[in-house]
Amino acid sequence: MEENQKMCIGLFSGSIDKLTAAGIVMGGAVADDMDIDVYVLLQAARAFRKDVADDYSKLELAENPTYKDQFVKSMEGLNIKTWLQVFRELKAAGNIKFHICGTAGKVWDAHKMEDFVDIADDICGIGAYITDSQNADVHLFI
């Protein structure tokens, strides 16, 4: 039996547009039956906080931030799910693990698993990300 290909994502951005893009990329990887490890770094760790994740007023756009309202309104009009809804569905459908960088969590005053959304699997150090990225078939930094 052939082993699944592995994708490693360093998810640095906590912006709505890049989180949405990450969901699209992960959707393609799940469709290809890839195993995915997502390392939630710096700004993304803030977006994964329970008190931030579902509230688009607390998140920005990385590209063209002045178009945030238009972007969100367009997504709603097209019935595009939020990044968190997509991440939850993909996690249920595929082999995806979300690892929160411990230092990144501390930067945003989130020190334990209970501070993060339910899809988070663990809190780890940056060494785990480095090792997984070296061993992945595909490595992305978003």
Condensed to tens digits (0 to 9), the pLDDT of residues 16-38 reads: 999 999 999 999 999 999 999 99
Calpha distance 82→68 (Å, rounded): 14
How much is the pLDDT for 1? Answer: 57
pLDDT of residue 28: 98
DSSP 33: T
Residues 66, 72, 73, 77, Cα dihedral to 10°: 150
Domain range summary for the chain, segments of one domain joined by +:
6-141
DSSP letter at 13? -
Torsion of CA 53, 56, 62, 66, to 10 degrees: -170
Give residue-wise pLDDT tens across range 38-52: 999 999 999 999 999
Architecture of the domain spanning 6-141: 3-Layer(aba) Sandwich (3.40)
Question: Which residue reads 């595929």 in tokens?
Answer: 94
What pLDDT was estimated at residue 121?
A: 98
49-91: per-residue pLDDT in tens? 999 999 999 999 999 999 999 999 999 999 999 999 999 999 9
What pLDDT is recorded for position 2? 72
| Mean pLDDT, the chain, whole residue set | 96
H helices of the chain, where? 16-31, 42-47, 50-53, 68-77, 83-93, 102-107, 126-135
pTM score: 0.95
